[in-house]
Amino acid sequence: MHTFYRIGWRGKATRHIISIGDFDRRQIDRLLDNAKRIDAQKFDKNALFGKILATLFFEPSTRTRMSFEAAMARLGGTSLSVGSVEACSMAKGETLADTVRVVSGYADAIVIRHPKEGAARLAAQFATVPVINAGDGAGQHPSQTLLDLYTIRQSMKLDEINVALVGDLRYGRTAHSLASALSLYGANLHTVSPKGLELPASLLAELTGKGMRVTDYNSIGDAIPEVDVIYVTRIQRERFPDSASYFDVTSSYRITPETLANAREHAIVLHPLPRVDEIDPRVDSLPHAKYFNQSRNGVPVRMAMLQQVMQ
């Protein structure tokens, strides 16, 4: 357990969610159960009445930011936003540490997305309200992982499943968080990535050290018949050192109805979105396609998270 606590100015212990490693399996299961109850409309619509969420997004976002704000609204609370570095006093040279100290005085929790790995953990050291990591560079994206697990659980049990991670596994933070979480459930991992974009060696060592079986494939066609979940990720263009190396790998994998012809009948295709061209739009109408359900699931899962950190 890496969850850390500090005493905020209200004299209460502050709980942050920085990494999926902040949860053990029992805590994840409990949060997903709460999300399911919320999804079934069994929740108090004023649970967070009078509470304020600050969303600090220093990288683009549609789903994470809007679903956190929607989650807050559905629980009776309100949100404040800073749209970009340019739109706040960080453009004048204010540090992230000072920014979160100040924002802690305006809000009851902070959701932060930042291009630098480790930024959310740094923010948590200076905030006096709970901080939720909404993506830190190529690091972690724990709320995405929780909604990914929730979506898988809608189709199958989480225990001992076979999951293909496809795409940019080097820079894709959603793949990193999900792989760590799946290690708690005895999953087997099947990786398919362009050369140079494999899972970081340190993460691979951590996963195998926990007893996870990880099989690497050269071709997506070889992995598909073996798995229950096909988790596709975008090439993270913004994290490439130069555009030439990006264009070298862009068309190296793509999910189409033809590639899914050999998929198990119950297999599901997930993608954290946004997609660029990794999934052919013709896949959208196949029963395997669950990525739009997945983005919708962001709301109940984030409602459960906000209740956990703010109540």
Q: Given candidates 14, 19, 34, 64, which one binds ligand CP under the rule CB under 6 A?
A: 64
Peptide linkage before 142 cis (omega within 30 of 0): no
Nearest distance from C-beta of residue 160 to ligand CP, angstroms: 26
- Which residues of 208-307 form beta strands (DSSP E)? 213-217, 229-232, 268-270
CA distances from 173 to 49, 187, 263 (A): 32, 18, 26
Q: Which helix (H) or strand (E) holds 222?
A: helix 220-223
Contact between 234 and ligand CP by CB under 6 A: the answer reads no
Residue 130 vs 272, nearer CB to ligand CP: 272
Residue 64 vs 99, nearer CB to ligand CP: 64
Contact between 272 and ligand CP by CB under 6 A: the answer reads yes
**Cα–Cα distance measured from residue 309 to residue 131, given in angstroms and rounded to the nearest whole number:** 9
Residue 212 vs 273, nearer CB to ligand CP: 273
Q: How many residues bind ligand CP (CB under 6 A)?
A: 9
Contact between 290 and ligand CP by CB under 6 A: the answer reads no
Contact between 302 and ligand CP by CB under 6 A: the answer reads no
Q: Which sign does the torsion angle of CA 115, 138, 29, 121 carry?
A: negative
Please identify, among the stretches 121-129, 155-163, 218-226, 269-277, the one whose residues bind ligand CP according to the rule CB under 6 A. 269-277
Q: Which of 115, 138, 112 is nearest to 126 (CA)?
A: 112
Contact between 61 and ligand CP by CB under 6 A: the answer reads yes
User: What's the full length of the chain, in residues?
Assistant: 311
Residue owning tokens 């996963």 = 207
Residue 62 vs 251, nearer CB to ligand CP: 62
Residue 104 vs 142, nearer CB to ligand CP: 142
Task: Write out the residues near ligand CP by the rule CB under 6 A.
Answer: 61-64, 135, 144, 272-274
